[in-house]
């Protein structure tokens, strides 16, 4: 095991015991002789050049991979060293753009058409996690689904075909059947890419990340991931009453929550906040105005609106 010793942002000597790429396993297949030696040298150079990114430093801190020491060179206690490093990384992140992902679940429903119009009017990217069966219910739902598919500002992702008919315990009890329900949705609808959200579950599986809220849905999420899907949950949720447009938490509160997640780096990934809403929230003029106002405020803040397939944007 190699050890990399050095200063991170001037907060004393810090030993990074592992950042993933200084592992003996990297050399296990090396053969010493002829050109293999050259390739090994190249490999080592490649590894040395693979400098830690802001995100990998943040991950190392978050997963306690950084060993802090108190010694004569650095007599500051460990808690303060950690805090100083965290604050320093936060300030570094604040020099970069902030990314917000508006996600709308359960469409097409009454309200989807307004989301499509607002995305066009504001010229921002939005994400929809659609339920194919809903396009067969009601006169205009297939039209609404097609509005999404044809709008380049709307990404269309998989939220299962039936939504488990809202009996989620039963739905996830048979993970093969649940997985097939997602595949049915995939084959019926032209999706942007293999991105899914599980009905009623805040589950994340992507890259090397895996976070499960309710374990009974984990086998379904794992099957999707094995099939090439990225599975995403959310950081902040907002609900409006479908019929009155009345929010469950006030407009200012939800706006501040997004800003706080961004500032404190308390979202799943720093500088990337995933915001959950549902299509049926925007069937009233009141609901539509709240969405439009929220987007204006986030735009004024300088946040960038992104597609989930690009999540997370790293530095
Ligand atoms: Zn849903």
The CA distance from 256 to 167, in Å, is 33
Whether residue 32 has pLDDT greater than 50: no
For residues 197-207, average pLDDT: 97
- The band of 45, judged by pLDDT with boundaries at 50, 70 and 90, is low
**99-310, which class in CATH?**
alpha beta
The answer to whether residue 65 scores a pLDDT higher than 50 is yes
| Alpha carbon of 11 to ligand 1 centroid (Å) | 45
> Would you say residue 307 has pLDDT above 90?
yes
* Pick from 12-26, 174-188, 203-217: least confident: 12-26
Answer whether residue 15 shows pLDDT above 80: no
pLDDT of residue 272 exceeding 90, the answer is yes
CB 237, CB 278: distance < 8 Å? no
Distance (angstroms) between ligand 1 centre and the Cα of 277 equals 10
CA 265 to ligand 1 center in whole angstroms: 26
Average pLDDT over residues 224-234: 98
* In contact, 160 and 131? CB cutoff 8 Å: yes
Cis peptide before 108 (omega within 30 of 0): yes
Mean pLDDT of the chain: 87
| Spans of all domains in the chain | 4-93, 99-310
Within its chain, how far is the Cα of 279 from the centroid? 19
Contact 14, 85 (CB under 8 A): yes
């Amino acid at each position: 095991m190699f050890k990399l010793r050095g200063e991170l942002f001037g907060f004393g000597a810090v030993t990074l015991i592992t950042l993933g790429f200084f592992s003996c396993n990297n050399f296990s297949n090396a053969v010493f002789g002829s050109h293999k030696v050259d390739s090994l040298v190249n490999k080592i150079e490649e590894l040395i050049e693979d400098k830690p990114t802001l995100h990998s430093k943040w991950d190392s801190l978050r997963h306690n991979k950084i060993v802090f020491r108190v010694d004569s060179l650095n007599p500051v206690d460990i808690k303060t060293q950690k805090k100083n490093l965290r604050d320093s990384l936060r300030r570094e992140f604040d020099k970069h753009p902030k990314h917000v992902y508006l996600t709308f679940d359960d469409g097409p429903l009454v309200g989807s058409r307004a989301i499509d119009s607002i995305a066009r009017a504001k010229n921002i990217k939005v994400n929809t996690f659609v339920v194919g069966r809903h396009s067969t219910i009601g006169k205009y739902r297939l039209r609404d689904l097609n509005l999404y598919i044809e709008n380049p500002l709307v990404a269309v992702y998989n939220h299962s075909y039936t939504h488990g008919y809202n009996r989620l315990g039963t739905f996830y009890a048979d993970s093969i059947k649940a997985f097939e329900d997602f595949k049915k949705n995939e084959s019926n609808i032209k999706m942007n890419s293999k991105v899914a959200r599980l009905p009623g579950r805040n589950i994340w599986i992507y890259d090397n990340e895996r976070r499960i809220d309710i374990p009974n849905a984990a086998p379904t999420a794992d099957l999707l991931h094995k099939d090439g899907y990225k599975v995403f949950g959310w950081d902040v949720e907002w609900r409006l009453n479908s019929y009155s447009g009345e929010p469950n938490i006030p407009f200012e509160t939800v706006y501040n929550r997004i800003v706080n997640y961004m500032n404190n780096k308390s979202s799943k990934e720093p500088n990337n906040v995933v915001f959950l809403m549902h299509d049926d929230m925007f069937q009233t003029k009141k609901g539509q105005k709240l969405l439009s106002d929220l987007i204006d405020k986030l735009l004024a803040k300088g946040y960038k609106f992104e597609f989930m397939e690009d999540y997370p944007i790293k530095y």
